[in-house]
Amino acid sequence: MANAPCTVCGEAAKYKCPACEARYCSVGCCRAHRAEGCMPQAQPAPPAPAAQGTANAGGDNDGNEKGDEEEDAKHRLRPEDLQRLDGSARVKELLADPCNRALIEAVRRDPHPLQAIRALRQQAGFEELARALLCAAGSEDTQR
């Protein structure tokens, strides 16, 4: 994967961060990456024992899944939301930052992305990105 770009300078990367797998090309870029606040990848949660799945026998697992799908649908972006995001200079500026891209990748890989987002929103840089995304998408929920 020597053709993958360095997350710091964009040159061809030869190495990857053992914590978050961000790519870098030199010791200097590695130090810069760590100084930006490397976000270790979350380890996948171990599978739940089979006994836990039967504890709720006769329960409402199907109802919970349907409720989750409905909740997800309420928060999906519509085409017009995506157009507003695409036209936002501030969002583009924040997404150009390699640190923000690494944080988004860490959320994408996390088995519990909502928990990861909540934890990352304690960081000023990620909170700025989150607010810019919500604002650009026209969300009324910018106070979280």
Tens digits of per-residue pLDDT, 44-91? 555 544 444 444 444 444 455 566 677 666 667 788 888 888 888 988
- 88 and 133 housed in the same domain: yes
Please indicate, yes or no, if residue 51 is contained in any of the structural domains.
Answer: no
Give the pTM. Answer: 0.46
Is 49 among the domain residues?
Answer: no
What burial class does residue 74 get, using C-beta atoms within 10 Å of its C-beta: 0-12 exposed, 13-18 middle, 19+ buried?
Answer: exposed
Backbone φ and ψ for 104, nearest 5 degrees, come out as -65, -40
- Whether residue 142 is contained in a domain is answered as yes
Residue 124 lies in a domain: yes
d(CA 120, CA 103): 8
Residue 58 domain-assigned? no
Is residue 47 included in any domain, yes or no? Answer: no
- Of 128 and 52, the one with more pLDDT: 128
Alpha-carbon distance of 89 to 58, in angstroms, equals 51
135 in any annotated domain: yes
Tally of domains in the chain: 2
Q: Percentage helix, strand, coil, to 5, in the chain?
A: 55, 5, 40
142 and 94 share a domain? Answer: yes
Whole-number percent of the chain with pLDDT over 70: 70
Same domain, 143 and 95: yes
Query: Where in the sequence is the domain holding 126, given as residue range(s)?
Result: 75-144
25 lies in some domain:
yes
Beta bridge partners of 5: 12
Q: Would you state the pLDDT for residue 136?
A: 86
